[in-house]
């Protein structure tokens, strides 16, 4: 019977002090984003979901930025700087002070494995609760070349054998080391302290803890995780693979929950994207951070959303852009080549074509014609445009903020509106039309003469 894991204390040590040289980047690799979020933040989130409240961050490069990226309201973290790089066991001991506080369980994870979920972390802790001293998280793979093999016999993990040191029989093993492990917190410092560096690089490898524990009469086991979850990142190419895998996982989860995606492989989500049931996402849609789409909404192709809230049964695009602060009411519509920024569009209102609406409030059931813009910026400050309910804004209208258009008002097409318009009024903000009979002939003759003169000069 499994002991009660929830009554055991746990410290997670996140190793994130690498120089990230293979990323060829000006910043630490764990700061590179997956789904618009630093990869280390994904790791911390998985730890929090596993019920782990204390984290020790072992950092080096960009320590302050990494610490900020790892902040999570559900956990308390401490920072420990690794000044030398002498192997993974040496890296863990950089957090000696935190480990020495005394925890039942110690988890060792990496800051560059953003696909990890809480399930294998919980399974590893349950192994400790059942009496193991060391629990290694492994994975099955079709091609184990290059990975350390988990040598398991009768449920016991005997050793982790590196590929170069493995026999032909051992190389046939497809159960491989994922790098993450759990250690009995009461024995961790003693076990890690016994790891030697008698190897070609003179480094202290955490994988040696399995044989150290067994030599001390302890017990080591392995628990399996999906190979995908243990995918690490060292290069930009590997970062792109992780992004693809994350997107596939999240799209699948959303579709299982009732979201329709016509071509899911062309839809890109952020870590916090929320989409309600019966919403439809057409091909080639990109969600930046901070987007919520309510039930029944349709996001048409080639739209880009960020920091926006889309109400139930609303319709967006195609080729629409919702910028931060866009808030669309139920049943509203934002159409082709329309941009909404920091603006509320009321229930049932329509902004269908070729318009820019920024710093504005549009009432329910108002129609905004093609080519309408809110002139919200005077070169220094932003100003608000307010449009009431059931209003009609004619095509090619410029609304010069600050300005208010009342409920039920009409704005004539082609107007430049610089003053408030009362409820139910009709506003004309354009010059009176004049027709000059025959003038077009004279203009054409003049223009042709200019063109002919240019051709003559060119000879």
Pair type for strands 333-336 and 220-224: unpaired
Average of per-residue pLDDT values in the chain: 95
- Is residue 440 in some structural domain? no
Structural tokens at position 131: 């009496």
Bridge partner residues of 417 (DSSP)? 399
Report the distance separating Cα 76 and Cα 73, nearest Å: 8
pLDDT digits (tens, 9 = 90+) for 170-200: 999 999 999 999 999 999 999 999 999 888 7
Bridge partner residues of 404 (DSSP)? 386
For residue 105, is pLDDT > 70?
Answer: yes
Domain identity same for 18 and 147: yes
Residues in the chain: 459
324: domain CATH number is 2.160.10.10
What are residue 156's phi and psi, to 5 degrees? -105, 140
Among candidate residues 201, 230, 259, the one where a domain is terminated: 230
The pTM assigned to this predicted structure is 0.91
- Is residue 433 in some structural domain? no
For residue 1, is pLDDT > 50?
Answer: no
Cα 264 to Cα 227, 282, 296: the distances in Å are: 22, 8, 17
* pLDDT (mean) for 432-448: 90
- Is residue 446 in some structural domain? no
Identify whether the C-beta of residue 362 lies closer than 8 Å to the C-beta of residue 379.
no
- Is residue 373 in some structural domain? yes
- Is residue 459 in some structural domain? no
- Is residue 292 in some structural domain? yes
Question: Residue 5: pLDDT band by 50, 70, 90 thresholds?
Answer: low
Domain identity same for 164 and 290: no
Pair type for strands 274-275 and 367-368: unpaired
Domain identity same for 139 and 262: no
Question: Residue 4: pLDDT band by 50, 70, 90 thresholds?
Answer: low
pLDDT digits (tens, 9 = 90+) for 199-241: 878 889 999 999 999 999 999 999 999 999 999 999 999 999 9
Domain identity same for 276 and 183: no
Domain identity same for 219 and 260: no
Residue in 32, 90, 304, 353 annotated catalytic? 353
Domain identity same for 42 and 190: yes
Question: Residue 52: pLDDT band by 50, 70, 90 thresholds?
Answer: very high
Domain identity same for 21 and 151: yes
For residue 135, is pLDDT > 70?
Answer: yes
Domain identity same for 87 and 220: yes
Among candidate residues 197, 230, 263, the one where a domain is terminated: 230
pLDDT value at residue 3:
55
Q: Is 353 labeled as catalytic in the residue annotation?
A: yes
Domain identity same for 119 and 249: no
Q: How many distinct structural domains can be found in the chain?
A: 2
- Is residue 437 in some structural domain? no
Domain coverage including residue 221: 5-230
Domain identity same for 224 and 245: no
* pLDDT (mean) for 263-276: 98
19: domain CATH number is 3.90.550.10
pLDDT digits (tens, 9 = 90+) for 111-125: 999 999 999 999 999
Domain identity same for 199 and 295: no
| pLDDT over 70 percentage in the chain | 99
* pLDDT (mean) for 373-389: 96
Domain identity same for 29 and 74: yes
- Is residue 123 in some structural domain? yes
Within 10 angstroms of residue 52's Cβ, the number of other Cβ atoms is 24
């Amino acid at each position: 019977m499994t002991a009660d894991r929830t009554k055991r204390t746990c410290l997670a040590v996140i190793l994130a002090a690498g120089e990230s040289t293979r990323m060829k980047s000006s910043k630490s690799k764990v700061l590179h984003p997956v789904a618009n979020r630093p990869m280390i933040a994904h790791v911390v989130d998985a730890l929090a979901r596993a019920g782990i409240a204390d984290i020790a961050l072992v950092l080096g490069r960009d320590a302050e930025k990494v610490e900020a990226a790892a902040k999570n309201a559900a956990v308390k973290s401490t920072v420990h700087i690794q000044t030398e790089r002498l192997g993974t066991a040496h890296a863990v001991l950089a957090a000696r002070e935190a480990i020495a506080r005394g925890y039942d369980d110690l988890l060792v994870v990496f800051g560059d494995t953003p696909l990890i979920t809480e399930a294998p972390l919980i399974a590893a802790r349950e192994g400790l609760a059942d009496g193991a001293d060391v629990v290694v998280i492994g994975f099955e793979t079709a091609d184990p070349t290059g990975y350390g093999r988990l040598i398991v016999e009768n449920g016991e993990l005997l050793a982790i054998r590196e590929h170069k040191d493995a026999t032909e029989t051992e190389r046939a093993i497809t159960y491989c080391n994922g790098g993450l492990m759990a250690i009995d917190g009461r024995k961790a410092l003693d076990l890690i302290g016994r790891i030697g560096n008698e190897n070609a690089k003179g480094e202290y490898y955490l994988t040696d803890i399995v044989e150290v524990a067994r030599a001390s009469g302890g017990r080591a086991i392995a628990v399996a995780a999906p190979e995908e979850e243990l995918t690490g990142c060292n290069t930009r190419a590997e970062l792109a693979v992780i992004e693809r895998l994350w997107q596939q996982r999240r799209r699948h989860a959303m579709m299982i929950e009732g979201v329709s995606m016509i071509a899911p492989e062309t839809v890109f989500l952020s870590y916090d994207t929320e989409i309600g049931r019966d919403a439809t996402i057409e091909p080639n849609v990109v969600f930046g951070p901070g987007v919520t789409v309510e039930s029944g909404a349709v996001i048409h192709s080639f739209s880009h959303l960020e920091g926006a809230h889309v109400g139930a049964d609303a319709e967006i695009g195609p080729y629409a852009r919702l910028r931060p602060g866009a808030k669309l009411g139920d049943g509203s519509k934002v159409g082709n080549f329309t941009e909404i920024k920091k603006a509320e569009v009321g229930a049932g209102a329509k902004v269908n074509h070729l318009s820019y609406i920024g710093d504005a409030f549009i009432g329910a059931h108002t129609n905004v014609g093609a080519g309408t813009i809110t002139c919200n910026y005077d070169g220094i400050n932003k100003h608000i445009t307010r449009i009431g309910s059931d209003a009609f804004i004619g095509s090619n209208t410029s609304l010069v903020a600050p300005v208010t258009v009342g409920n039920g008002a009409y704005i004539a097409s082609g107007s430049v509106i610089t003053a408030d318009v009362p409820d139910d009024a009709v506003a004309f903000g354009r010059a009176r039309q004049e027709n000059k009979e025959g003038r077009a002939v004279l203009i054409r003759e003049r223009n042709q003469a200019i063109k002919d003169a240019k051709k003559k000069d060119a000879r």
